[in-house]
Structure 1
Amino acid sequence: MRIVTLGEVCKVVSGSTPKRERAEYWGGTIPWVTPKEINRLTSPYLWGSEENITEEGFNSCSTSMLPVGSILLSSRAPIGLLAINKIPVCTNQGFKSLVPSNEVNAEYLYYVLKANVKALQARGNGATFKELAKPAVENFEIPLPPIDDQLRIAHLLAKVEGLIAQRKQNLQHLDDLLNSVFLEMFGDPVRNEKGWDKPALTAFGKISTGNTPLRSESANYDGDFIEWIKTDNIKGDVVCVTTSTEYLSEIGARKARTVTSGALLVACIAGSVESIGRAALTDRTVSFNQQINAIQPGIDVNPLYLYGLFKLSRGYIQSHATKGMKKILTKGDFEKITMIKPPFEMQNQFAVIVEKVEGIKSRYKQSLTDMESLYGAISQQAFKGELDLSRVPLPKLSTQHISPVPIGDQATVPEPVVQSASRIHLPDNGNLLAALENSEARKALMAEWLEAYRRQLGNAPFSAQDFMVAVSDRLTEWLQTVVEDEAVADEQKNRLAEFYTSNDVGLYVNDYEHIKKWVFEALAAGALTQGDNKVDNRIELKAVQS
């Protein structure tokens, strides 16, 4: 195994941005990529761009075309985002991309750089923000085994990475299952379409706010009598609070606020509204700080039901926080929040399901931890030349080597296959107002919009996420129009304000269930087809156009 610099085996290519004020530079057929697009990728591969430039825009700046199989490496904000392009692209100035020679395999280069992101970041310079200069990239050293071993290493790491992604997806599906069960049993907790009692939180149990014993009195902290929980111990995907790194002494505990097992701790002070409402249960007696409000459930409230309720009501809870720089949900405001309270027997039925699913999740999480450790060990050994590759089969190459695009000749810009993310057009419909108020009308409207989206797809894959973002944006836009419309009755506006306290129409899990049902029906009817995307190792849905 040799040690080489990137400059020895790659051409390092910078990007640039055409002037934004020149409309004729934008909206062409040449894919133009920014680091934020790479940050959103869920696989190593880039198949399209969010923006395209014209040939005139391309020639107006110093960007360059990158051939298929190049490595896009972000060089600032942040350093170290990576992707392999599957179509010819150019980039903005936030990249130092690599066009590999025949000596280095693109996938191997991707994984060896991924293993060295911290080292790349350490090469960054700059007072305001760090940036990776072209010479720093060219002089960066990597291990370079023979090409066959490069293929084996990349193949092996991709396999383990695929298993990790699959296990994460399994965990997400289990979370989705619990959300679906909750909605099936109790309905949407904000809309309360099933008409449950909806009392203030004081009816759910005793509410208290944590505190911080004086730091100046060291005796409060010189023992490990009881854990002192902070908001970073409340994770979004973990039922119970994690183990704290800080403890109080017996003296400190007497000055602190504590709760016993089964209490719900809720983050109520945070720098951003997204952190407000994050909740977790206690499975032991703990103390907690003043950024947390706690509910010690009463005898008619099941803690696991309460946890599920808060998990599906984050946006609703966040809407009650202050709107200033620091988001705060005071104890007084927290206590006034009204939430659905179905019969205790039904809460217990839901809790039984949660316990079973959480048992499965626990095993999956351990499996995920093991696979991530395996990936780290394989990666470390492979790039040190310590891995026995004799039993790793040599994978078949899916594509032949693609010659680099001439970078100096700006007149010979190739005509790429553009698969950029286009705006989804959702047609106007008289049911829009009804969809804001009524779930059945919303379901019918979404079915109509799904069909409209299907007809717009062409050869692009169906994306539930893209569709849901488009629906949320469209309904939010319509809500704002309704609020400003003097012809709409105040009573109707007030009713909408109750549902949408933040003037933002988010989609709920039952909306996702409607989409899933439509997809299954479309597959059965032959309007969608299902296939394997072998590159990304995932199932892909495509429209059948009549």
Structure 2
Amino acid sequence: MNLSRLIEYASVSIGQGAPQKSDDFSKEGNPFIRAGSLESLTNNGTLDSLEFISDESAKRNKLKLYPADSVVFAKSGMSATKDRVYKLTRSCYVVSHLAVLLPNEKTHPDYLRLVLQRSKPSTLIKDPAYPSISQGDIENFKLPFPPLDDQIRIATVLTRAERLIAKRKEGIKALDELLKSIFLEMFGSGEKWETEKLSGVSEIVSGVTKGKKYADKELFEIPYMRVANVQDGHLILDEIKTIAVTKEEIDRYLLKAGDILLTEGGDPDKLGRGTVWNNEISKCIHQNHIFRVRVNAERINPIYLSTLIGSFYGKKYFLRAAKQTTGIASINSTQLKKFPVIIPPLPLQNKFADIVEKVESIKAKQTQSLAELENLYASLSQRAFKGELDLDRVLVETQDIASLRSRLAT
């Protein structure tokens, strides 16, 4: 497919500076999009959740109102490296860190969004240390633009795939919310049960320290869990690193099924981040920024405890107990050991764990389906922008094409 300059298919402008006074914002008017807004908006967030600016405030601050179907992405700051591209669904005001593209009569707005997502505006950044993209470079960005009818068909195929992916993600999120609801229903605030310090019902161990000097000791290479691997309620195992340690350290830090892994710090809202280890990797240890909690199985079910730690109850404790500096919060072993564990009857804990395992089984199938859909989308996208899709097989209502042509012409 031949490449054309973006300016031939859309006008390019830049947003305006954000108002500085709190009373410039209100609950009426039109949404104001900041660079940070794009993370939410490109993940099924809504414009209704943003700040709003009234007509009067916009006039006072000399803001321009951009129409629905304009396409925006970050052109400066670290957000410019993220390649988040969003099509406005209603008229909005836009911050100066964003580029705003207004499609002309030759361009389908969704196609423009999709081709930019695929081609990545961040490739225009000249100095990664100071991410910025000039208006001229955006205007001269070479992109594939087939005839409008083909754009419509490509956009139809890819947006259908996007909707399927979004629906699958919503299903997975609903399962997570279901478990939270069941936990609250079964255990409530926990006031009717005793509490005990975490150190009284478990063994808590910090992991191996990287970069140690071992002199002449025999070392063994073994996989280990890093902070990046341990997420809230799940593990990310795409990249597993290894470390050379002694046999004694392997014996001390070796993970066992049922161990709870907890990170020691990060963003305040992620305190208490962790999950249960299920021998996903044979013979694996953990680094020193991760705590391993091994419960007394006669009193505590690890799935119950992991959920309690990750609940509002757990996060409230860690936020109160954590050391916080410049947006980073961390907990130490002493604070973790003092965590007050609510101890319901073990059969009730086990009943909850059984429910979790059933829901997680459904979730695993949904996650696998999501991965397949995302792979399909990537394949369709690659073929579409190379001109390799048989677009004659894409069903688009004739009136839909006529309606779009009419809308673009006005």
The question of 1:280 aligning with 2:275 is answered: yes
**1:374 counterpart residue number:** 376
Residue 68 of structure 1: CA displacement? 3.0
2:291 alignment partner AA = N
TM-score, normalised relative to structure 2? 0.85
Equivalent residue in structure 1 for 2:288, among 287, 290, 294: 290
The question of 1:308 aligning with 2:314 is answered: no
**1:84 counterpart residue number:** 87
Q: Could you report, residue by residue, the CA deviation over 1:123-172 in whole angstroms, capped at 9, with x for unpaired residues? A: 12468631211101000011111211111111111111111111111111
Tell me if structure 2 keeps the 8 A contact 1:229–1:244.
Answer: yes
Equivalent residue in structure 2 for 1:337, among 336, 339, 363: 339
Tell me if structure 1 keeps the 8 A contact 2:230–2:273.
Answer: yes
The more displaced of 73-82 and 395-404 is 395-404
SS class of match (1:323): strand
**1:22-421, aligned counterparts within 5 Å?**
29=29, 32-41=32-41, 42-43=43-44, 50-54=51-55, 57-58=58-59, 61=62, 63-77=63-77, 78-79=79-80, 80-117=83-120, 120-125=121-126, 129-188=130-189, 192-193=190-191, 195-212=192-209, 214-217=211-214, 223-224=220-221, 226-238=222-234, 244-249=240-245, 251=247, 253-254=249-250, 257-268=253-264, 270-284=265-279, 285-300=283-298, 301-312=300-311, 313-324=314-325, 327-395=329-397, 396-397=400-401, 400-402=406-408
Give, in whole Å, the separation in 1 of the partners of 2:90 and 2:112: 18
For residues 141 and 319 of structure 1, do their structure 2 counterparts lie closer, same or farther at Cα, with a shift above 3 Å needed? same
Tell me if structure 2 keeps the 8 A contact 1:201–1:335.
Answer: yes
SS class of match (2:67): coil
Q: Could you report, residue by residue, the CA deviation over 1:454-491 in whole angstroms, capped at 9, with x for unpaired residues? A: xxxxxxxxxxxxxxxxxxxxxxxxxxxxxxxxxxxxxx
Give, in whole Å, the separation in 2 of the partners of 1:340 and 1:267: 21
Tell me if structure 2 keeps the 8 A contact 1:220–1:248.
Answer: no
Q: Could you report, residue by residue, the CA deviation over 1:467-524 in whole angstroms, capped at 9, with x for unpaired residues? A: xxxxxxxxxxxxxxxxxxxxxxxxxxxxxxxxxxxxxxxxxxxxxxxxxxxxxxxxxx
Tell me if structure 2 keeps the 8 A contact 1:210–1:290.
Answer: yes
Tell me if structure 1 keeps the 8 A contact 2:25–2:52.
Answer: no
For residues 212 and 366 of structure 1, do their structure 2 counterparts lie closer, same or farther at Cα, with a shift above 3 Å needed? same
Tell me if structure 2 keeps the 8 A contact 1:32–1:53.
Answer: no
> What 5-or-longer segments of structure 2 have no aligned partner?
none
Q: How many residues align?
A: 395
Tell me if structure 2 keeps the 8 A contact 1:220–1:251.
Answer: no
Q: Could you report, residue by residue, the CA deviation over 1:408-467 in whole angstroms, capped at 9, with x for unpaired residues? A: xxxxxxxxxxxxxxxxxxxxxxxxxxxxxxxxxxxxxxxxxxxxxxxxxxxxxxxxxxxx
SS class of match (1:339): strand
Tell me if structure 1 keeps the 8 A contact 2:228–2:236.
Answer: no
The more displaced of 270-279 and 29-38 is 29-38
Residue 25 of structure 1: CA displacement? 10
The more displaced of 328-337 and 85-94 is 85-94
SS class of match (1:385): coil
The more displaced of 257-266 and 15-24 is 15-24
> What 5-or-longer segments of structure 1 have no aligned partner?
405-546
**1:435 counterpart residue number:** none
